[in-house]
């Protein structure tokens, strides 16, 4: 079994969240049932909050063009399920990159490169970007969030309170934009 899909006939918002711990975008592309699953739900909005695992590599191994190519494949799957699916790219949070015993942990320079790649993909696809990296405070902000107990000691993952805060900020941004577009 890959999941349960509860259905009803009422109008309204249906929220689906999926995640694979430690997965990069190619891991999603290897999910053989993903195209059929997407066609079942026909998403109107895809919020891509993945990419941090793709960027969790030494800077010389992160290839923005390959990163965007993988995302283009993922976007094509969503668009094949619903050609009108809106796209929202959530940039990575500020985080640490473990460079091994010799070099230790440092602020991940790939985070800004992912943000740039998402902005390019959004321009190319007509999508939007929610810049979590800058909302957090940019480079080295994970230390501040850790000090407020909003991030775990690894400074990659948030605490429950941190995830709730980020979720609330994103929700408010989406609702505000929706209401402005709707004229309310």
Q: With the C-alpha atoms ordered 111, 109, 116, 20, is the resulting torsion angle positive or negative? A: negative
Secondary structure E strands in 42-178: 45-48, 86-90, 96-98, 105-107, 128-130
For the segment 53-71, the average pLDDT, to the nearest whole number, is 93
**Cα radius of gyration rounded to whole Å, the chain:** 17
pTM: 0.88
Q: Kindly indicate the confidence band of residue 102, based on its pLDDT and cuts at 50, 70 and 90.
A: confident
Give the pLDDT score at 182.
Answer: 73
pLDDT digits (tens, 9 = 90+) for 116-144: 999 999 999 999 999 999 999 999 999 99
Give the pLDDT score at 12.
Answer: 67
Establish how many alpha carbons lie within 13 A of residue 79's alpha carbon, considering only the half-sphere containing its beta carbon: 10
The number of beta carbons lying within 10 Å of the beta carbon of residue 14 is 13
The highest-confidence range among 1-15, 24-38, 70-84, by mean pLDDT, is 70-84
Q: Kindly indicate the confidence band of residue 50, based on its pLDDT and cuts at 50, 70 and 90.
A: confident
For the segment 149-163, the average pLDDT, to the nearest whole number, is 95
């Amino acid at each position: 079994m890959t999941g349960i899909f509860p259905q009803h006939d009422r109008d309204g918002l249906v929220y689906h969240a999926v995640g694979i711990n430690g997965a990069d975008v190619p891991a999603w592309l290897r999910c053989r049932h993903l195209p059929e699953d997407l066609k079942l739900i026909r998403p109107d909005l895809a919020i891509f909050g993945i990419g941090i695992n793709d960027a969790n590599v030494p800077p010389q191994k992160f290839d923005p063009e390959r990163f965007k190519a993988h995302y283009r494949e993922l976007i094509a799957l969503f668009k094949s399920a619903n050609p009108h699916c809106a796209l929202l790219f959530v940039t990575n949070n500020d985080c640490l990159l473990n460079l091994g015993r010799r070099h230790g942990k440092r602020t991940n320079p790939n985070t800004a490169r992912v943000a740039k790649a998402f902005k390019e993909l959004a321009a190319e696809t007509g999508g939007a970007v929610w810049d979590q990296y800058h909302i957090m405070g940019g480079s080295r902000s994970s230390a501040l969030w850790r000090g407020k107990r909003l991030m775990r000691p690894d400074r990659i993952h948030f605490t429950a309170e941190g995830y709730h805060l980020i979720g609330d900020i994103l929700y408010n941004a989406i609702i505000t934009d929706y209401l402005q577009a709707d004229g309310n």
